């Protein structure tokens, strides 16, 4: 008997070859994206769909909306397989019909998992499940997220070149922001945001002493606060490097700012976030309470995680004697993720201390 899965559930696969099939009242196409650790395809060959039915370890089952997957045959640099379902009639919507059912069977046809994708709206494409490499094992992660922009936009967001070039540039250049300024995402980037990164960088601070130049240990911390409405439900920071659902991940604590480039990075896979989460607020705080006017070459930047294009950047030193800053907010608007860069000064040494100060931005 198949185990019944629910949205957000993660379970370790006990078989290394299986069939993922979809049952629906209407004709559907099942596709797979083979993704690296950054959530990107290595090239167009990593898309399996009706016009390209095979890739290493993944193939369409002829005549059925189903995929045969052999995890042992997946390339070693593939960490995720994202499985999508699309109505053949792209003008139709999943909400017009009974919900689709995803079933995973072993090669003998024995059912292993079943999942009914409920709660879909006026989308024709849904991200059904992810298969994630975790050490030597593979896990199934239940998503069930509708993708309003459609199949072509979905695969393009993961790095697959599809369709004719857009007449307008996707990326219009980063916004450079001072504290207190805000910018709408559509002013700097077209389309839907599926993966975002907040990066923090600074250089070690050195001051002249009586006899020599000495270092001042300035420890900045990047954090992501997850909200449902105005309620904090999760936090990702130096003591908790991943959200409970694994959608938000922290690169780790940098205590001094040593090294070139970004010192701390928080990566958000928006497709994996619980649909209940309405906003993420990114904050930077000074662990020891050093004011930002003392910082050297300190900056934050928001990056489109699928293209690595910089969306917005701010100077942390600007603005004076504060010990923290709410740098940006990623939030849902009509079912689509958007970005607002905030640059608002805060007084805090720990990310949780910022919560009462950032709630006005929700």
The CATH 2.60.60.30 domain(s) of the chain lie at: 3-158, 181-361
Instruction: Quote the tokens at residue 271.
Output: 């497709």
Nearest-angstrom CA–CA distance, 339 and 347:
23
Relative to beta strand 3-4, strand 111-116 is parallel
Determine the CATH number of domain 3-158: 2.60.60.30
Q: Provide CB contacts within 8 A for 20, sequence distance 6+.
A: 30, 66, 67, 69, 83, 102, 103, 104, 129
Question: Mean pLDDT for the chain?
Answer: 83
pTM above 0.85, yes or no: no
pLDDT tens for each residue of 26-83 = 999 999 999 988 788 999 999 999 999 999 999 999 999 999 999 999 999 999 999 9
Domain 181-361: which CATH number of 1.20.1440.230, 2.60.60.30, 3.40.440.10, 3.40.50.300: 2.60.60.30
Q: φ, ψ for residue 7 (rounded to 5)?
A: -60, 135
Helix (H, G, I), strand (E, B) or coil at 82: strand
Give the Cβ contact number of residue 307 at 10 Å.
16
Nearest-angstrom CA–CA distance, 328 and 354:
13
pLDDT tens for each residue of 286-308 = 887 677 766 767 778 888 877 77
Give the Cβ contact number of residue 268 at 10 Å.
25
């Amino acid at each position: 008997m198949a185990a019944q899965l629910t949205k957000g559930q993660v379970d370790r696969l006990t078989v290394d070859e299986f069939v993922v099939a979809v049952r629906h009242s209407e004709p559907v196409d099942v596709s797979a994206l083979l993704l690296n650790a950054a959530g990107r395809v290595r090239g167009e060959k990593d898309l399996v769909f009706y016009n390209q039915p095979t890739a290493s370890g993944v193939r369409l089952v002829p005549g059925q909306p189903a995929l045969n997957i052999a995890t042992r045959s997946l390339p070693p640099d593939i960490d995720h397989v994202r499985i999508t379902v699309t109505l053949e009639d792209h003008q139709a919507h999943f909400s017009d019909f009974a919900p689709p059912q995803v079933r995973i069977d072993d090669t003998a046809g024995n059912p292993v998992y079943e999942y009914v994708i409920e709660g879909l709206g006026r989308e024709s494409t849904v991200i059904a499940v992810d298969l994630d490499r975790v050490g030597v094992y593979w896990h199934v992660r239940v998503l069930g997220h509708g993708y309003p922009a459609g199949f072509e936009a979905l695969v393009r967001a993961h790095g697959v070149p599809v369709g004719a070039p857009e007449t307008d540039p996707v990326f219009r250049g980063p916004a450079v922001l001072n504290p207190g300024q805000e910018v709408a995402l559509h002013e700097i980037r077209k389309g839907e945001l599926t993966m975002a990164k907040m990066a923090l960088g600074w250089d070690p601070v050195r001051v002249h002493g009586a006899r020599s130049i000495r270092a001042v240990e300035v420890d900045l911390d990047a954090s992501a606060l997850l909200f449902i409405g105005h309620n904090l439900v999760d936090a990702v920071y130096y003591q908790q490097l991943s959200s409970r659902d694994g959608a938000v991940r922290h690169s780790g604590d940098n205590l001094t700012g040593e090294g070139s480039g970004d010192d701390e990075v928080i990566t958000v896979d928006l497709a994996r976030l619980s649909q209940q989460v309405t906003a993420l607020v990114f904050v930077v705080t000074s662990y020891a309470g050093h004011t930002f006017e003392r910082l050297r070459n300190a900056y934050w930047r928001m990056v489109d995680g699928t293209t690595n294009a910089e969306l917005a950047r701010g100077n942390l030193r600007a603005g004076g004697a504060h010990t923290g800053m709410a740098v940006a907010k990623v939030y849902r608007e009509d079912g689509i993720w958007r970005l607002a860069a905030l640059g608002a000064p805060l007084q805090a040494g720990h990310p949780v201390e910022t919560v009462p100060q950032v709630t006005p931005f929700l």
